Amino acid sequence: MSDRVLRRFSGSLRRDPVGILLLAIVIIIAAAVMAAPLISSLSPVATDFKQVLLPPNAVNWLGTDDFGRDVFIRLLYGGRTSLMVAAIAVVIVMSIGVTVGVVAGYFGGVVDLVVTKVIDVLLAFPRLVLAIAVAALMGGGMVPLVIAISVVAWPAYARIIRGFTLQVSQEGYVSAARCLGTPTWRILTGHIALNLIGPILVLAMLDIGNLILAVSALSFLGLGVPPPAPEWGAMLNEGRGSMEIAPWLVLAPGLAIFVVVLAANYFGDIVRDSVEGRPVHGPRNWLRLPSRKRYKSVAVASGNSAASPASALDLQGLCIEVTDRRSPFFGKRILNDVSLNVGRGESVGLIGESGSGKSTLAALALGLTRPPLALTAGRARLFGQDAAQWSWDDWQQVRGRTVSLVNQDPLSALNPVLRVGDQIREVMLTHLDMPRAAVEDRLREVLDEVHLPERVIRQFPHELSGGMRQRAVIAMAIVNKPALLIADEPTTALDVSTQIRILDLLRDLQDRYGLALLFVSHDLRVVARVADRVVIMRSGEVVESGPTAKVFTAATHPYTRELVTAMPGRRLQTVKAA
């Protein structure tokens, strides 16, 4: 995960001029602060009463204070204290917060009850007031400062980490590890803590700015490092008295705190976006409007005009390999010389055993081939255009509009906290500039098309049956009237009678819209019900293809014959009759 996050982080930063500027400033500040003794031999506490309150000049770049001390040198040494205390506090706060949160969330019961009550009590105090009380009780100084900040900051972390732990503990792999007798410490460190690295990183980045502010605030109140040692908050306090005649005394530390906190928050946002997988952060989003040009050309090509190409999806000699050298599977060929064509209005079934490469192929048709996998040979055309050349943004314009997906798990495709109606509306509004009334009309129309009652508009996914959820997902996929629908094992999670109804619905929609349908499945009976043509894959290669009836009754490849022989009921006619 870390590699992917790092790549996204550096990718976001590269496209973000403000982020790069802030990063450069922070690197300069951090380097200057670390190298303070090398930059000047002057002591930050050396006084010179002949030089008091000098404005910035060639010798004293940021002027002098009312003891004749050089403000620039004090700023450098003060930064060491501020940043070091904040960094130590983050580590301590994280360690306590993560340990308490994970233990409470995983063990639950009395442990959780006691911990959450303690957290509730601590969070009821205003953070800074509690920190002032703790620091004042301990008498000020660097160590009490770190302790005061840690004491008040850990409960918020513990509460968030407890929430994440509760969620991760419910995951199937944690239950499986428990069933397999994995020791508790191993589950906590290996399964749960590993999954919390992302949220922990985000929390740390977002809160480091707050901790720097807390250090400065306590020092400003005289509860930090004792004078004459410099610290940014303490410098603000010292400069307060002479602020009107020597504004540089407060401007210098004030600006330093501002820039560092701003940068920490800004990077916190980028890290959060990178961990959560949001594609773009920052000014790139603000400055660059989505490119409609290429989208229009794709949309035009996908229209049903006579001039548009006959193929919806046309793959020729396609190879997909693991191209990332860091992957242990580097060089592995996932798809080998695969050719497949889905004509307009045609329904093609893609059949293969587990691991044959069906999902990899479906992902390619949606522009979702991501590292470590890459297209290394062959041609991929969507509605006559060379889709291999499209950027992520180009694909974003096409996915959900020209090409849609229905996957096997409707529950994971629907957001559990949003009403079904809002989720379908969102798909429309993402792609089409429609008036409100038209959106509502189309919403009702599409629900009717997938045979769902209007009441589901206001319902949440958990209030629907499995079959209804899959219909809702199909409604989302077809609401923008796409030209190509990819159905990746859409009936696997359903019972047999619901399966048949969903398959009939897909066939029906395909006829009504002239949809091209790529139906991916390992179940021959299911494919027989919807596909005009079938393509059989094995170990990343196409072994046979042809009209459904022909392949099922007169297969030429031994593997296909094996599949057909193993099919319950054997004959296609039997399947259709069922």
Ligand X SMILES: Nc1ncnc2c1ncn2[C@@H]1O[C@H](COP(=O)(O)OP(=O)(O)OP(=O)(O)O)[C@@H](O)[C@H]1O
Tell me the closest approach of the beta carbon of residue 324 to ligand X, in angstroms: 8
Tell me the closest approach of the beta carbon of residue 86 to ligand X, in angstroms: 39
Helix (H/G/I), strand (E/B), else coil: 318 = strand
Strand blocks (E) in 452-571: 484-488, 516-521, 533-538, 541-547
Q: Report d(CA 446, CA 480) in Å as an integer.
A: 9
Tell me the closest approach of the beta carbon of residue 544 to ligand X, in angstroms: 16
105/357 with CB nearer ligand X:
357
354/565 with CB nearer ligand X:
354
Tell me the closest approach of the beta carbon of residue 563 to ligand X, in angstroms: 14
239/367 with CB nearer ligand X:
367
DSSP assignments along 110-158, one per residue: HHHHHHHHHHHHHHHS-HHHHHHHHHHHHTSSHHHHHHHHHHHHHHHHH
The CA-atom distances, in angstroms, between 223 and each of 76, 230, 488 are: 20, 13, 62
Tell me the closest approach of the beta carbon of residue 413 to ligand X, in angstroms: 16
203/517 with CB nearer ligand X:
517
Residue in the structure block whose two tokens are 């005289």: 222
Tell me the closest approach of the beta carbon of residue 202 to ligand X, in angstroms: 25
Looking only at the bridges linking them, the beta strands covering 403-406 and 347-352 are: unpaired
522/557 with CB nearer ligand X:
522
Tell me the closest approach of the beta carbon of residue 399 to ligand X, in angstroms: 19
Tell me the closest approach of the beta carbon of residue 192 to ligand X, in angstroms: 24
241/371 with CB nearer ligand X:
371
Tell me the closest approach of the beta carbon of residue 522 to ligand X, in angstroms: 6
- Residue environment code for 268-307, b if the CB has 16+ CB neighbours within 10 A, otherwise e: bbbbbbbbeeeebbbebeeeeeeeeebbeebbebbeeeee
Helix (H) or strand (E) holding 498: helix 496-513
172/416 with CB nearer ligand X:
172
Under 8 Å between Cβ of 260 and 26:
yes
Tell me the closest approach of the beta carbon of residue 356 to ligand X, in angstroms: 4
Tell me the closest approach of the beta carbon of residue 378 to ligand X, in angstroms: 16
Other C-beta atoms closer than 10 Å to the C-beta of 436 total 9
Helix (H/G/I), strand (E/B), else coil: 87 = helix
Tell me the closest approach of the beta carbon of residue 371 to ligand X, in angstroms: 8
142/313 with CB nearer ligand X:
313
173/329 with CB nearer ligand X:
329
Could you give phi then psi for residue 90, rounded to 5 degrees? -60, -45
Under 8 Å between Cβ of 484 and 518:
yes
369/404 with CB nearer ligand X:
369
Other C-beta atoms closer than 10 Å to the C-beta of 255 total 13
Q: What is the number of alpha carbons within 13 Å of residue 359 lying toward its C-beta?
A: 10
Under 8 Å between Cβ of 443 and 424:
yes
Q: Report d(CA 148, CA 215) in Å as an integer.
A: 9
Here the contacts of 285-291 (C-beta below 8 Å, separation 24 or greater) are 290/393, 290/396, 290/397, 291/393, 291/394, 291/397
DSSP assignments along 19-38, one per residue: HHHHHHHHHHHHHHHHTHHH
Q: What is the 3-state secondary structure (H, E, C) of 234-281?
A: HHHHHHHCCCCCCCHHHHHHHHHHHHHHHHHHHHHHHHHHHHHCCCCC
Tell me the closest approach of the beta carbon of residue 418 to ligand X, in angstroms: 27
Q: Where are the alpha helices (DSSP H) in 392-495?
A: 392-398, 410-413, 420-431, 436-449, 466-478
199/372 with CB nearer ligand X:
372
Tell me the closest approach of the beta carbon of residue 567 to ligand X, in angstroms: 17
78/357 with CB nearer ligand X:
357
360/402 with CB nearer ligand X:
360
Which residues form the interface with ligand X (CB under 6 A)?
322, 327, 329, 332, 334, 352, 354-360, 372-373, 522
Tell me the closest approach of the beta carbon of residue 368 to ligand X, in angstroms: 11
The CA-atom distances, in angstroms, between 249 and each of 44, 100, 219 are: 14, 42, 15
484/520 with CB nearer ligand X:
520
Closest-approach residue to ligand X (CB): 359
Other C-beta atoms closer than 10 Å to the C-beta of 134 total 19
> Both ends of the chain: CA-CA distance in Å?
46
358/381 with CB nearer ligand X:
358
Other C-beta atoms closer than 10 Å to the C-beta of 494 total 20
**How far does Cα 20 stand from its chain's mean position?**
21
